[in-house]
Amino acid sequence: MTRRLMVAGNWKMNNTIEQSIKLAEAVKKETRDIHKVDIVVAPVFTAIKPVFDIVGDSSIQVAGQDVFWEESGAFTGEVSAQMLKDAGCKLVIIGHSERRQFFGETGATVNKKIIASLKAGLRPIVCVGETLAQREAGEAFSVLDRQIEEAFAGIALHDFEKVIIAYEPVWAIGTGKTASPSQADEAHAQIRGKIETLYGANAAQTARILYGGSVKASNAEELFGMANIDGGLIGGASLKTSEFTPIIKAAVNASA
């Protein structure tokens, strides 16, 4: 089974519009000959449209970093899936651990956001991952199982097939600590096993599962070469093309 690799840059709450445009221009220039892997950038909401205007004619796709589940109305501060689509997004990150940790995101809200995004024609990148305390307590796999069950409750197979999952152990995000390739692969295999129980063996084999957590140029190729890892969701290292481009190239090499 060959799954197409994806490298997605989560710019988090960084960069003005001007800085985002410059970064998008640089990523576009440096990756113009790369067609073997999917490249995604997720700017802050204010920079989505300006970034789309730069990369819209290339193969780089734009993602939102979050979304609200209602279409419109009295929800001050929120942005709907239709609005993200209108601004140029093809994908949206949902359930990032920073949203779970700081903004009260739960399995139930993740589920509503996935449903709303699919309805609007956006492809969700759904983040799951255990904390250090949960890993140390031997609960990593049960946490992943639960997060997958909650995220995809009531979602039919034909919709699930549009989803991308990102395994992001919370203890590895922005900490410089990366899961070892075998630790990450084991977690991805667990996620695939859970998908198999929910959606069957074919869905488990075709699902794309990205790894996220302190991915760098120096560890990307080994991670992406693991059997169950289909690319990466990249935070800090996506903010500099000198770091992001080699990670994309590592994905190209891993898919060779």
**Residues catalogued as catalytic:** 96, 168
Under 8 Å between Cβ of 166 and 233? yes
Binds ligand PEP (CB under 6 A): choice among 128, 215, 220, 254: 215
Closest listed residue to residue 33, CA positions, set 59, 15, 72: 59
Does residue 212 interact with ligand PEP by CB under 6 A? yes
Does residue 223 interact with ligand PEP by CB under 6 A? no
Q: List CB contacts of 70: < 8 A, sequence separation 6 or more.
A: 78, 80, 116
Binds ligand PEP (CB under 6 A): choice among 130, 145, 168, 230: 168
Binds ligand PEP (CB under 6 A): choice among 5, 7, 10, 51: 10
Under 8 Å between Cβ of 8 and 232? yes
Does residue 250 interact with ligand PEP by CB under 6 A? no
User: Rounded to whole angstroms, how far apart are CA atoms 68 and 140?
Assistant: 28
Does residue 234 interact with ligand PEP by CB under 6 A? yes
CB nearer to ligand PEP: pick between 105 and 204: 105
User: Rounded to whole angstroms, how far apart are CA atoms 87 and 122?
Assistant: 12
> How is residue 53 written in tokens?
């205007």
Does residue 248 interact with ligand PEP by CB under 6 A? no
Binds ligand PEP (CB under 6 A): choice among 39, 233, 248, 250: 233
Contact residues: ligand PEP, CB under 6 A? 10, 168, 173-174, 212-215, 233-237
